[in-house]
Amino acid sequence: MRGANPSGQSTATDMHAFERICSPGADLQAVLYRVWMLLMLAGTMGMLLSPWLRNGELADTVFRVAATFPMKRMSVGVPQQELPFDVQGFLAEIERENDK
């Protein structure tokens, strides 16, 4: 998987790395999809995530919210005008979780 990290640098990740860090039985495709959404959000709208960026890494809160926040699957070959989830709602949920 390739993408841009919050610093804007291109990265490549082996799928097996996710297998090693996920719980047994985790839906790897769902995990990778959510990571991909975060990479797109960080790459295209990186300033939106900057409040949770520490030393080039996103805060754990971002990942906890991304793990459960409702996201639609994007259809192959169908142009998208925006990300398939409520970005403002996602950011608000991160803020709520961060304040706990």
Cβ atoms within 10 Å, residue 82: 8
Give me the number of domains the chain comprises: 1
- Nearest CA among 42, 27, 28 for reference residue 83: 42
pLDDT along the chain (100 residues), means of 10: 47 69 87 88 77 89 95 86 92 94
Supply 8's token pair: 């804007």
Q: What is the extent of the structural domain holding 7?
A: 2-99
pTM of structure = 0.75
Sign of CA dihedral 50, 32, 78, 8: positive
Q: Please give, one letter per residue, the 3-state secondary structure of the chain.
A: CEEECCCCCEEECCHHHHHHHCCCCCCHHHHHHHHHHHHHHHHHCHHHHHHHEECCEECHHHHHHHHHCCCCCCCCCCCCCCCCCCHHHHHHHHHHHHHC
What integer pLDDT is reported at residue 7 of this predicted model? 52
